[in-house]
Structure 1
């Protein structure tokens, strides 16, 4: 999981604009793959990109809760991209709508994220979609229903072991699946807009890391879900990532899988190894969000994708 080593930095003149040319070699497994990139680099996304509560917090508006140790910052540093050629406009709470319109936060307004793009942009990373389906509020709801389940502890009907799933399913209607489809349509339009605004850019759609254990149904007191709701939430995250993959592929962008490398490093795993903090974080990070280790892992996944 070590970082890629930067082996060369040059200067190139492209379309009449001076841009940074970067050559990356030696991947984290010791390979010799290389890829040439040119700045500027623009990072778009929500709180899984911005890194709320991971010190040091930086940038404006303050309400976007960006960390200078989030994965875009780590990627830019590893590639040797100059500060003037790197723009992180990710923002906590962002949805796909906030990519094309200003976003109000509890401390300032973030301009439309796509406004940071230009015809000179050469690299774009995008991590979005979780807020479109209300995943954070869903987790809070599932914990609340899980606590009630554990207190009652007298259910015998297996269907009642997933009270949160039942809440989000009305008859044969899967509310979350509908929201994922809607988010997919919005993302398709967004990716087309990115292509128009930055036609020379390489675009990488970054998926979400594994939040809950791949096996088992008990997350303990830090994440007290009802047994079958762990499976329900895990399935919904996988469906979200599948949508991101499909939309990236359809748009000619590259999907970055952060789920696979984070297996066993979910919010229910040991504090010394996990990428995602539980509802009561033990490391500086927002609840049910990547900690610094998780952001480093996501940066490694992006850098590996650049070498593929």
Structure 2
């Protein structure tokens, strides 16, 4: 989600990981375009596409795996780490280059679009993961991060998310205008924290902030879902509930914790397993 500042950039040259399709390709969809932020792009998951390098876009992210599962004829992935809704219609500056406006990839014959966006609007995700770990030591069993974001009785993170819905609605409207034949899917975000319990070595939040983190992510997904419902021509794909048992603290995580792992996943971002799980959820919806 958030903009990634990478000191050393590793160029990956390995071939894309093989994906086993859960259903035989039917060519129901021929021209698939994937839009989104880092939870779509897959930073540091091998292999990384080299243009633009700063998008940290994996050849094994969920759009790539979904394209194989569906057997589409053409596939265009313009997702980019750090993207917000504004980057759908404006160029995004990234390390060593620029990602063109993502909606420019749409064509009148595009018949499938996935959109995973919203977490970076108003820098909600970046502020949360950048601030909360620094506050744990001050009150390990309390909720210092929730208190930090509460100003004059208003949860500022939640207030920012409330505006995200309208941004996504505007993006969806533009998608329909540019690709009127397309089936459009708004993809939710998978679970980061467990519903109960803690794992401070992996997610260094204060114990009382785990519930708040879940609340923030649920609100973000509600904004995406509500935007799809308001649009009326877009289906919302819930990945939060299907990822139960695959949070960062679990034995089979879809999401990485605080430590960036070269050749696996950026901090607080999906692993290959998470991308595979999301691709499976979407393909089951389509079939």
From the two aligned structures, give the one with the greater strand fraction.
1
> How many Å apart are 1:207 and its aligned residue?
0.2
* Matched ranges for 1:62-77 at <5 A: 62-77=53-68
- Aligned residue in 2 for 1:246: 226
> How many Å apart are 1:107 and its aligned residue?
2.1
- Aligned residue in 1 for 2:255: 276
Say if 1:147 and 1:225, in contact at 8 Å, map to a contact too.
Answer: no
In 1, the alpha carbon distance for the partners of 2:50 and 2:29 equals 23
Residues 1:3 and 1:238: Cα distance change in structure 2 (over 3 Å) = farther
Superposition RMSD in Å:
1.5
Structure 2-normalised TM-score? Answer: 0.89
Equivalent of residue 154 in structure 2, options 173, 183, 186? 173
In 2, the alpha carbon distance for the partners of 1:100 and 1:246 equals 21
* Matched ranges for 1:128-207 at <5 A: 128-133=117-122, 134-150=124-140, 161-207=142-188
Segments of 5+ residues of structure 2 without an aligned counterpart are 1-19
Say if 1:267 and 1:274, in contact at 8 Å, map to a contact too.
Answer: yes
In 2, the alpha carbon distance for the partners of 1:168 and 1:55 equals 35
> How many Å apart are 1:231 and its aligned residue?
0.7
Runs of 4+ aligned structure 1 residues displaced above 2 Å come to 147-150
> How many Å apart are 1:59 and its aligned residue?
4.5
Q: Deviations over 1:143-182 (max 9, x none)?
A: 11013323xx8xxxxxxx1111011111221211221121
> How many Å apart are 1:79 and its aligned residue?
1.2
Segments of 5+ residues of structure 1 without an aligned counterpart are 9-21, 23-36, 154-160
> Aligned pairs, how many?
265
Structure 1-normalised TM-score? Answer: 0.83
In 1, the alpha carbon distance for the partners of 2:155 and 2:107 equals 39
SS at match of 1:109: strand
